Amino acid sequence: MKRVFVRTYGCQTNERDSEALRALLQSRGYALTEDASGADVILLNTCSVREQAEAKALGKLGLLRAQKRRRGTVLGILGCMAQRLGSELLRQRPEIDFILGTEKLSQVADYLDRYFGNPGDKPSTPLVDVGREESLSGQNFPHELKPRQASAFVSIMQGCNLRCRYCIVPQTRGRERHRPMEAILDEIRQLLSHGIQEVTLLGQIVNRYGYGVLPVIDGQSPFVQLLEKLQSLDGLQRIRFLSSHPKDFGHDLIACFGRLSKLCPHVHLPLQSASDRILKAMGRLYTREQFQQLVSRLQEKVPDLALSTDLIVGFPGESEEDFGETLDFFEKISFDMAFIFRYSPRSGTAAALSPEQIPEETKAKRQQILLRALEKHSLRHKRQLVGTTQSVLVEGRAHRGEGRFWGRNPGFHKIIFDGHEELIGQFISVRIESASPAVLLGKIVG
Ligand code: SAM
Ligand code: SF4
Ligand code: F3S
């Protein structure tokens, strides 16, 4: 049996794609391995969102060159960087055997069969396929469920029709394509029959699911209709979704919070900047005031709502004053969690051409300032939970500490406690005893 090593870079969409890929490969008779050095095939599922993400995959490729020479390992590059660079990547790295774009993952096993099947079928030159698939209808990507796994990602749409001026994703992932609602529900029913209790719906702008394709019914967007249907599925305990665009967060969706009992009180709402001037230059299509109103409406529905966000510092033209506005607003909203990125120019995006690029030292300084503010707010939110008892869905063993396990409460806070293997996949009650900016520590009760 040929052994395949899969390494994933980037976001949850890529994680989910890799999971489906692993399951497909297994069903086609390939074995998966965690040991790259002993693998017959190495697949890198890559990310292009920032230069650093590409540099990581390219660095790994460099390290694999010797292995390729020694053992003849087949090297496949998949995902967003494969899509973005296509055969240009091959010119830089001739050791690559095949390059398949983001919409070609279901064909990886076919390509591999050509390397390992009939010797006459073995490709004599590297393959590059970064073509597009028009629809997601016929595509059903399997899951690779681990024993006791209780939480799963479900991609409900692909692509993005917006054009935020810093972002490469619309190019790497293509136009919006929406899965049929029944196909999503079938997938989730299957997951439930295997013991899954929590699903996270994924899409680049997940709250635009079905937009312009499926009807709005009784004022409810297709995304809200989907949430309603999930609420009524027996066995499903928790519903989450990622990522939302503030512009598409309608009243119908706000009204789901506090009303749909399975919908977790956590929203990831990318802000990017809180300077109206920069938001406009980014093409984000909302103002600071509109973002604030959205947060207030959500907090009216769920006072203890956990909020997380993405921010970019050093977008071209961002002045000290613009950054000051972002910092002020960041302090005011007091997010539970935030991913704070330094702007990375991506070739082929509008912002990369701007003459007003910000020096790296300035970006680094601004990032540090926001990270320090985040630490304070994360800690404040977590300290408020000390002394409370939280419902925790146990995910697995903690990285550090013998006998320690971790899980999440509805607000998506990571909670660590002493436990045992049988608890994985179960809901337990944990009394919170202490907090750090990143995690909560507690003891099982009851
Ligand atoms: N579609 C999602 C959205 O709109 O929020 C996620 C997009 S991207 C995968 C995740 C985050 O990466 C973005 O929210 C943004 O903060 C960041 N990002 C995207 N392009 C970037 C760039 N060129 N430089 C730095 N950060 C970037
Ligand atoms: Fe990128 Fe903007 Fe689309 Fe998100 S909404 S994927 S940031 S273009
Ligand atoms: Fe990266 Fe592609 Fe996700 S660019 S962030 S892996 S959609």
- The residue whose CA has the least distance to atom 1 of ligand 3 is 47
CB-based contact 372:366 (threshold 8 Å): no
Please report, as a single letter, which amino acid is at residue 85: L
Residue 212's SS3 state is coil
Distance CA 113, CA 110 (A): 5
% the chain with pLDDT above 70: 98
Q: In what order do the strands lie in the sheet with 98-100?
A: 31-32, 3-8, 41-46, 74-78, 98-100, 127-129
Q: Is residue 49 lining ligand 3, measured as CB closer than 6 Å?
A: yes
Which pLDDT value is given to residue 65? Answer: 87
Alpha carbon distance, N-terminus to C-terminus of the chain: 47
CA distance 38 to 410: 40
φ, ψ for residue 64 (rounded to 5)?
-85, -10
How confident is residue 57, by pLDDT bands cut at 50, 70 and 90?
A: very high
Determine how many CB atoms are found less than 10 A away from the CB of residue 128.
19
CA 413 – ligand 3 centroid, Å: 24
Q: Which of 6, 15, 77, 80 to mutate to test the pocket of ligand 3 (most atoms within 8 A of CB)?
A: 80
Ligand nearest to the Cα of 15, by number: 3
- Average pLDDT rounded to a whole number, residues 137-151: 85
Indicate the burial class of 357 (C-beta count within 10 angstroms; 0-12, 13-18, 19 or more): middle
Residue showing tokens 């009303």: 259
Q: Is the pLDDT of residue 110 over 70?
A: yes
**3-state SS string over 319-331?**
CHHHHHHHHHHHH
Go through the domains of the chain in sequence order and give each one's CATH number.
Answer: 3-129 (3.40.50.12160), 151-381 (3.80.30.20), 389-445 (2.40.50.140)
Mean pLDDT of the chain, nearest integer: 95
Contact 320, 281 (CB under 8 A): no
224-281 tens-digit pLDDT: 999 999 999 999 999 999 999 999 999 999 999 999 999 999 999 999 999 999 999 9
